[in-house]
Chains A and B, each alone.
Chain A
Amino acid sequence: MPCAPQASIPREIEDFFTVESGQTLLIKGLPGTGKTTLALEIMNSLCEDRNGMYISTRIDPRRLYATNPWVKEVVPPKNVVNATQGKLLESLKGIGKDISNYYAVLDFFKVFFDEAEEMDNPMIIIDSWDAVLNYTSHLIGDGQHSFEQNICEFARDLDTHLIFVSEFSSVMPLDYIVDGVVTMEQFRLPGYAEGSMRSRYVRQIKLEKLRGVEIGQKTYTVTLHNGRFRFFEPYREHTDARIASDGMRVPDPKADRISTGIPDLDTITGGLKYGSCNVLEIDHGVGKRYYQILTALASNALKNGRGVFILPSIGYQLSKRDIFVPTNVVVSSPEGEDPVAWGEGLREKWDELRERTGRPILNIIGLDSIEFAFGYKAVLNLVNLMISNWKETNDINVLVVKSGQESMNMAVHTADAYLLVNELNGGLCLYGIIPRTEPYYMLLEERNRISLTPIV
């Protein structure tokens, strides 16, 4: 996986504004979806310092800088235009009845440029275009589309990028006039009913059209975390499991909890309690990509001197040569036809490992493997035994379940912590059901470090 610094806006949008001068982009979406933040982030990424102009019908400079202090370098205070209805009417007073006249557009922008700093390569945001039309509808009348056409021609003529922000989510004539259209969306994760414990809202950007640019990916997951727009590249890591020594050791967060090996996950969960049962549910489409979570967990436990027992999930292949302290790791799969006898053998292996390391061990158990080998009833009996054992030994336990398997119903009732990993726009999204958390986007960064960014 590439570890280059993450760009803040999708490559397609960046290419769109560099392939041609004088591009016009329409950003659409319902209120609160992040249109303004995206527009400002585009400006911040692509516009020269002090060449940004923000014409707003709903925000003045003071409020803009209070919520987005980082735009000040690009958009100086004089270039934040508070487009009140009075000012908009003044800008159009000279046009008479001929709104289709190109000179009307010159007059329109002149009023705003009069107050702004001089700019050699301006980039302009009009936020929102709906409000501009609403304020001036009695003047513009039937000439709206000619006016919009002329504004786009003005941008091309002046080699100036122009961004319209609109709250109309349906297709409108302006969609056909501008060079590019993107839509910001906030939606509930599919498959989960409103209000259910698995239901979460996430954000995405949809690239509808970008003239002159090949759209590689139509939708990207995005976040407005810390008031900044950020998109996420797909998570493509599909390597087999290995427990290597690379990566930083993460200290345990508290005396009674061990680290997950992922600092962001420690912050979210507070770490894994001694004697706790923690469930990691893997949704369809995640594939092997969840291995990285288990690798980080096991690897860090070894670094902190713990023994690790692994009962692999179906498909989770782990050979001795992929483990950096093989003596402290036991890998065992279900054997034989008698689950009770197999369970007894399991207990012996745990005891041996615990004695060797002199402290509670970490158990990573693929419930799907047990269910496949012995059936659901056997899983129930075994887990009952395991839990009573763990409470006595203080072992830390992670049960891996796959969405849809029967064991999942039982696991949710036994869990001290329950995390769900699912696929989202080619990436991975992780969130807590117990305790309930917001969704996080999972990224693999340098030295196999996993980071989690809230999707808010």
Chain B
Amino acid sequence: MASYKEKILDVIGQAEVGLTTVDVAKKAGVSKTTVIKYLSVLSSEGLVEFVEVGPSKLWRSRGMGIKQKEERVQTLTVEALPKVDIDFCSEEDNALRFSFQVDLDQIRTILKRADKCMCKKEDALLIED
């Protein structure tokens, strides 16, 4: 049978965005006074921490913060990808033109991950294996 400490650690670990103190107590099935005692111990051991979200304090596992930080970095990189512009041409032309404004360094990095390379030929950029 799991101890109070393990139960509390477990429910906090399972929460995606963190839990309020009262929710930790409810989900772990312990009293409010017990949850305070263990949150005090777990935080001093570096296993849990709280983040302030508005007026609430949300408890989460200590590792969770680092993981979320990494995810945020990747997201930022994706957001920084090329701006795309679409040109709706006349009916006679019967075509759509896409233009890209790119950061060459970012494109090179992405191609490198995909084992491709890029070279410039006349007015165009070519992507080759």
Contact = CB atoms under 8 A, between A and B. Distances in A.
Please classify the interface of chain A as helix (H, G, I), strand (E, B), loop, or mixed, using the class held by over half of its residues: helix
Looking at chain A, what size class is its interface with the partner chain? Answer: 20 to 34
Looking at chain B, what size class is its interface with the partner chain? Answer: 10 to 19
B57 A113 contact: no
A106 interface: yes
A106 B43 contact: yes
Contacts of B55: 156
Contact of A157 (B21, B34, B37, B43): B21
Given A94-B44, A158-B21, A159-B22, A106 B31 contact: no
Contacts of B40: 103, 106-107, 109-110
A9 interface: no
A114 B34 CA distance: 8
Interface in A131-164: 153, 156-160
B99 interface: no
Contacts of A116: 33
Which of B21, B36, B56 is packed against the most chain A CB atoms within 10 Å?
B36
B31 A120 contact: yes
Contacts of B37: 110, 113-114
A154 to B, nearest CB: 8
Interface in A69-124: 94, 102-103, 106-107, 109-110, 113-114, 116-122
A119 B33 contact: yes
A102 B51 CA distance: 11
Contacts of B33: 113, 116-119, 122
Contact of A110 (B21, B32, B36): B36
Contacts of B32: 119-122, 158-160
Interface string B27-59: 000011110110111011000001000011100
Interface of A: 94, 102-103, 106-107, 109-110, 113-114, 116-122, 153, 156-160
27 contacts: A94-B44, A102-B57, A103-B43, A103-B44, A106-B36, A106-B39, A107-B40, A110-B41, A113-B33, A113-B34, A117-B33, A118-B31, A118-B33, A119-B32, A119-B33, A120-B32, A121-B32, A122-B32, A122-B33, A156-B55, A157-B21, A157-B57, A158-B21, A158-B32, A159-B22, A159-B32, A160-B32
